Amino acid sequence: MFPLVVIPIGYAKAIADYNLAVLPPHQLSCCAAVAGKQVQSKEGREFVTYPNAYHPGPTLCDHLEFALKHEGVSLEVLAALFRAVKQQSFETELCRHIEARPTGKNTRRLWFLYEFLTKRQLPLEDLNRGNYVELLEPKRYYTAAPVNSRRHRVRDNLLGNVNFCPMVRRTPALRESEAKRLEKEAARIVASYDEETLRRAVDYLYTKETRSSFDIEREKPSQKRAARFVSLLRELPDRNSLDKAALVQMQNVIVEERFAEQGYRTEQNYVGESVGMGLRQRVHFVPPRPKMVPRLMRGLLSSMERMMASQPEPVVHAAAISFGFVFIHPFEDGNGRLHRLLIHYILSREGFTPKGLIFPISAVMLQKRQEYDACLESFSKPLMNLVDYTVDEEGRLSVKGRTSGFYRYVDFTRMAEDLFRWIEETLRTEFRDELDFLVRYRTAREKLDSLVEMPDTARNRFIQFCLQNGGRLSAGKRARYFSALTDDEVRGLEQVIQEHLMTLPSPRSR
């Protein structure tokens, strides 16, 4: 039996023929002598084999039209390709291709994308016939409100611009998450509790989010820094927009004063750790060069505003902007905490989070640290196979070659799927459990006071000691703090705590 001859087509051919250094696109295709389309999935990507009849044709433009039709839009591959081709000869080929089929949907998309990505205008007259076509198919992608390009008769519905343009595919997982309408579930949960319970929950929820966000970074902030972070969380939803000055101010609030910055970083930073006796650096992630940060951040902020105006799915919006921010890593310190603050900002501004409340998402991220790290690594690991860098004896990292395209056109589908899952768990555990606890706590407090009237501090201490010790007050704690109570009083108080506060999934320490 002869071995199967496999011929790369679409993006796979472009990558192979021009030796493109790009992150692997979602789908790569080939054709072979097979009876029907065959799909293999690996690490979140699809490898598709088509029958030989699907071979696009002899030219690069034929393969690019096939890619746009069957594989979707990969801005990173296209941008890298358009830099790699011989400009004059490719533009001649592209013009002939467009003139031969000027009203073809994917022909017009290819024409628009070439001029969009290269900022070069082909020597062609504007198209004056045919219906407008959406650049991204809304059934396949999350899109922004379209802006008509009269020249190409294309509706530009990208989520960003040439400086930063996130892509998110409408996968079955995201469709399923959207259908759950978690924002409506959150509203129903809130409506089922009285105002006093909600008021008492607010302080704890903000404090829990603050503590968890710092714990993820393995930091123990001072009370002053923690209080500043809580204040920032509270006032953030009231900001109409964010710009560079606002981000700098936020960075100054959450880091130690000596690490406050006046603008975006001017040095090459990286995420890594020291290993071995010589403290050699193990590098986990390399952000873009400092000179590229202002342009990328302008693009990110513009993308955020475009999505705010278009109102796509709020969780998708939050994932694209927050993870885009942490991948750009625009500051020396505080990027992770700012990344999570941006999630809250967007969810609040888009009306997903009930007004005046917060979902302690960082608490779930902390509990599922391996999942959170794997989400970040879904981008950083393949990236690190492409970035050429050196680290000198003093730990300074230098990047060689062009890398800005890696961070500009990221596919954030995985991040959106994970963020949806974490929010759902936050809503149904951390958020609801806290509200349930407060209802139980109020009932328990009334019954405790009916047995023994104690100052608030003493009562809260008694509850905390019992919750920490399986529902009973230890002999040592009793001798030190509650020696005035009788045996019957202690047993009665313990019974109230056991009945009303020990039935939660996990006892709380206040």
CA distance 59 to 50: 18
Q: Which stretches of 136-194 are DSSP H helices?
A: 172-179, 182-191
CB 268 within 8 A of CB 285: no
Q: Is 70 a catalytic residue?
A: no
Q: Which stretches of 286-367 are DSSP H helices?
A: 293-310, 314-328, 335-349, 361-367
DSSP H/E element including 496 = helix 487-501
- Return the bridge partners of 47, or none: 28, 40
CA distance 174 to 413: 8
Sort 504 into a burial class: Cβ within 10 Å, 0-12 / 13-18 / 19+: middle
CA distance 316 to 419: 8
- From the candidates 152, 329, 344, 500, which is the catalytic residue? 329
225 contacts: CB under 8 Å, gap ≥ 6: 254, 256
Virtual CA dihedral for 103, 104, 106, 109, nearest 10 degrees?
A: 0
Q: Which residues are annotated as a binding site?
A: 333-340
Q: Which residues are annotated as a binding site for ATP?
A: 333-340
Sort 419 into a burial class: Cβ within 10 Å, 0-12 / 13-18 / 19+: buried
Closest-CA residue to 45 (of 12, 18, 14)? 12
CB 412 within 8 A of CB 76: no
CB 36 within 8 A of CB 52: no
Q: Which residues are catalytic?
A: 329
